[in-house]
Amino acid sequence: EKAKWPKETIELWERLSKKEANDVETIEKSIVHHVTTTLARAAYNMDNFSAYQAVALSTRDRLISRWNETQGQLSKVDPKRVYYLSLEFLLGRSMDNALLNMGLKDKYGEGIKRLGFNMEDVIESEVDAALGNGGLGRLAACYMDSLATLDYPAWGYGLRYNYGIFQQRIVDGYQTEYPDYWLNFDNPWELPRLDISIQIAFGGHVQTTQDEYGVTRHTWIPGSSVQAIATENCNNIRLWRSKPTKAFDLTSFNEGNYEKSVEDATNAEKITSVLYPNDNTMAGKELRLKQQYFWTAASLHDIVRRFKKSMREWSDFPDQVAIQLNDTHPTLAIVELQRLLVDEELLSWDDAWEIVTKTFAFTNHTVLPEAMEKWSVPMFEYLLPRHLQIIFDINLFFLQKVEKKFPNDRGLLNRMSIIEEAQPQQIRMAHLAVVGSHKVNGVAALHSNLIKTTIFKDFVDYYGEDKFVNKTNGITPRRWLHQANPQLSALITEALGNDKWLKNLSLLKGLNAKAEDAAFRKKWMTIKRANKVRLAQLIKDRCDIDVSPDALFDIQVKRIHEYKRQFMNILAVIHRYRTIKSMTAAQKASVQPRVVIFGGKAAPGYYIAKLVIKLINSVAAVVNQDPAVGDLLKVVFVPDYNVSVAEIIVPASDISQHISTAGTEASGTSNMKFVLNGGLIIGTLDGANIEILEEIGEDNIFIFGCMAHEVEDLRHAQRYRGVPMDPALQGVISAIERGTFEDPKIFQPLISTLTVGKDFYLISADFASYITANQQVDAAYKNQEEWSKKSIRCTANMGKFSSDRSVKEYADEIWNIKPYPVEDEGHL
Ligand code: GLS
């Protein structure tokens, strides 16, 4: 097209699309421009939020022009791309991060100050994009950051929920949930792509015919459809939202049935209305299945459309496209691609299946049985009749091959089948994901080994070891150190002589030598204290509790789940409380003061987890008011834990707790965030704790509790040999039962999990060693010089846990893609 233009027109375009300069005055102009035009406001009726909107829009302009350039260059090369399918992207705020990544935070800060605002207040006005539950969704966000930083050609695909994870408020000690309508004031970080709209079909039936060559063809005749509309985000994430195919049904409308006519419209919009608030559990709801199909079908359609532009052969598809399945949620993409290739592109089953299995790879994020996705066959058939047939065929061909390799083993076939023979039959999504992928990975070394010996053991026997690999999780140091802990970041840059560590985290090793430098240690600890002061202020604002920044800050923030054992933590806090109460004044003088901080959401339907929150708040209410304890112990539950709260909490820890029953936490990623910020951790030999221990050394971490391979025997012993409860724990339970913290009846169901429930998570078995480990923490903290050395060594040896390392491993070993650096755009 461009070639047809006269020279002057081309020159005009080129001149006018030159990027704006980055001096403070140009920045100010662009902010004011957005205030007066896009927002239609005047200086005298502006508040922090409108200042935020204007700065965000101005920042976005710059992001978009860089992004356009990248896309333009990429589309010429048309390299193999990776598509990261994730039902959750827990992005948090964008502005601070975007400004830092463009190297413009200082200039914007100066500009906004001259315009009468304070950058920190403006940043605080942004609401979190909370389209995720916890670690799994935040991992997807960190991976998108690394993919962009490392210049990999990548797209993320997800859903644009109207309501993200609920807001948590604490009322009378109980969690209550409120809707998170995050789009209330428009989202400046997304661009609606109204031109990209795809019809997604549901229901109906399958028509079977013979074509002219006598080949049987299946055609899906859908019963209804909705539209998928794309929104794009400057991180290369495309999120789909559902819209009615037609606004309302004209026939019903003309018959005078207005309600019926809009009913379909609201049903269509429901699909992307809300994020399911479950972490590590399966919600077997029809709407959830609809979400999964809607999203995978729209995404695949988009991927195929982009592939088709290049006019290549179908057999080239796996050389152009890698699709990563983030957990089993997007597994239907496997079936949808097979359907497109066989039913619509008329490839043979085998050719199609070869393409499919070369394209997909699957990440498993948990071994917990309650999280394994299964869909009832009748419900599935009603929504997706053709897909069900395809799943049955995939299963048939697969089991035939298994039978050939291991003849006459019915038990094996039953165990490996994609269909579980229950009433009604169930589709096992994890089996489908394994069968349809060329690589399956776990998210930490222990977890990747565990999946090979437990849930996927038969599949390892059948496929061999090579298909099952490990990709230890990582976190982005740009957000989790540079942005969240700016002072520490600056000190590190000063100590190392440059900021290259931000993109090559192993360079932090250079800090090891600094641990011996007393002046450096002092600076390091001064920053830690400033971060604790910042958190103490947040605690004052949100909980109205005064805590001393000189106390040891002990933090456990993560989703509330029995396997994560917040219950064990609060039980140990009660033990500490009782111990202090029994002391003489002289003994109390040597107690290390501690502030125990909790945060995290419980799934709204998870009764026991919600009781744990109640217990924490009841204990806090008693302990914090007890003059016999004073500042020696404070207990805090920070409400509504989310990414932006984590950015305040993580840099402020002295110690944090990662204490899941061994073998239950696939990886954990907050453990990495805390240690990267110089916080020590107390933890079990579980998930990534083990690899953190290997990197930072046993002197810099507090490990306790049983090991994964001991769990089964311990459970068995408890159940059948009646092992008595740990005496210290027994004392704690008795105190609760005597009514030390509110009416004990409230907590009876919780206590029953230890007694009647036979303590599945082994709190009693680990309790003594947990108490000891906590005492070791107190003792170590007393020696602040030694503690500061440990803190520095923690940060220094965390290079491995950059998400850059993880993403590069995926790229090299699973996706087979290469980075395409785009020429310098002149911004940085
Ligand atoms: C999770 C695991 O529970 C975490 O251990 C893991 O770090 C995370 C990312 O791999 O995935 N699985 C899950 O369902 N929610 C998670 O956070």
3-state secondary structure 301-321: HHHHHHHHHCCCCHHHHHHHE
Q: Are 503 and 804 in contact (CB under 8 A)?
A: yes
Q: Are 60 and 187 in contact (CB under 8 A)?
A: no
564 is catalytic: yes
Closest CA to 134 of 528, 667, 780: 667
- 3-state SS, one letter per residue, for 702-771: EECCCCHHHHHHHHHHHHHHCCCCCHHHHHHHHHHHCCCCCCHHHHHHHHHCCCCCCCCCCHHHHHHHHH
131-470 and 479-801 agree in CATH topology: yes
pLDDT band, residue 249 (cuts 50/70/90): low
pLDDT at 250: 61
pLDDT at 247: 57
Read off the pLDDT of residues 615-663 as tens digits, 9 standing for 90 and up. Answer: 999 999 999 999 999 999 999 999 999 999 999 999 999 999 999 999 9
The domain 479-801 having CATH identifier 3.40.50.2000: the answer here is yes
Residue with the two structure tokens 């979400």 = 291
**Pairing mode, if any, of strands 374-376 and 224-233?**
unpaired
673 is catalytic: yes
pLDDT at 357: 98
State the burial class of residue 11 (Cβ atoms within 10 Å of its Cβ: 0-12, 13-18, 19+). Answer: exposed
pLDDT at 72: 86
Mean pLDDT of the chain: 95
- Tell whether ligand 1 has an atom less than 6 A from the beta carbon of residue 669: yes
Q: Are 238 and 157 in contact (CB under 8 A)?
A: yes
Quote the ligand 1 centre to 365 CA distance (angstroms): 5
How many residues does the structure list for the chain? 828
Quote the ligand 1 centre to 665 CA distance (angstroms): 7
State the burial class of residue 779 (Cβ atoms within 10 Å of its Cβ: 0-12, 13-18, 19+). Answer: exposed
- Tell whether ligand 1 has an atom less than 6 A from the beta carbon of residue 564: no
Quote the ligand 1 centre to 306 CA distance (angstroms): 31
Q: Which residues, including other chains, have CB under 8 Å from residue 582's CB and lie 6 or more apart? A: none
328 is catalytic: no
CA-nearest residue for atom 14, ligand 1, is 280
Position 429, amino acid = M
Residue by residue, DSSP assigns 775-795 as HHHHHHHH-HHHHHHHHHHHH
Q: Please determine, for residue 474, whether its predicted confidence score (pLDDT) is greater than 70.
A: yes
Q: Are 750 and 608 in contact (CB under 8 A)?
A: yes
Residue with the two structure tokens 């450096």 = 520
Quote the ligand 1 centre to 368 CA distance (angstroms): 10
- Tell whether ligand 1 has an atom less than 6 A from the beta carbon of residue 139: yes
Position 738, amino acid = R
Spell out the domain ranges in the chain: 11-77+94-127, 131-470, 479-801
Torsion angle defined by CA atoms of residues 790, 792, 796 and 802, in that order, rounded to the nearest 10 degrees: 100
Please report, rounded to a whole number, the percentage of residues in the chain having pLDDT higher than 90: 89
Lowest mean pLDDT, pick from 154-163, 209-218, 495-504, 792-801: 209-218
67 conformational bin, left if phi > 0, alpha if psi -120 to 50, beta if neither = alpha
Class of domain 131-470: alpha beta
Whether this model's ipTM surpasses 0.90 comes out as yes
Residue 82 dihedral angles phi and psi, to the nearest 5°: -110, 140
Report d(CA 755, CA 735) in Å as an integer: 15
- Tell whether ligand 1 has an atom less than 6 A from the beta carbon of residue 667: yes
pLDDT at 69: 85
Read off the pLDDT of residues 3-28 as tens digits, 9 standing for 90 and up. Answer: 789 999 989 988 888 778 899 999 99
Report d(CA 743, CA 797) in Å as an integer: 47
Of 443, 564, 689, the one to substitute when testing ligand 1's pocket (max ligand atoms within 8 A of C-beta) is 443
Residue with the two structure tokens 């008595």 = 724
Q: Please determine, for residue 255, whether its predicted confidence score (pLDDT) is greater than 90.
A: no
Q: Please determine, for residue 321, whether its predicted confidence score (pLDDT) is greater than 70.
A: yes
The structure tokens listed for 787 are 């503690």
Report d(CA 30, CA 56) in Å as an integer: 11
Quote the ligand 1 centre to 793 CA distance (angstroms): 26
Q: Are 639 and 649 in contact (CB under 8 A)?
A: no
224 forms beta bridges with: 202
Helix, coil or strand: residue 191: strand
pTM, 2 dp: 0.97
- Tell whether ligand 1 has an atom less than 6 A from the beta carbon of residue 412: no
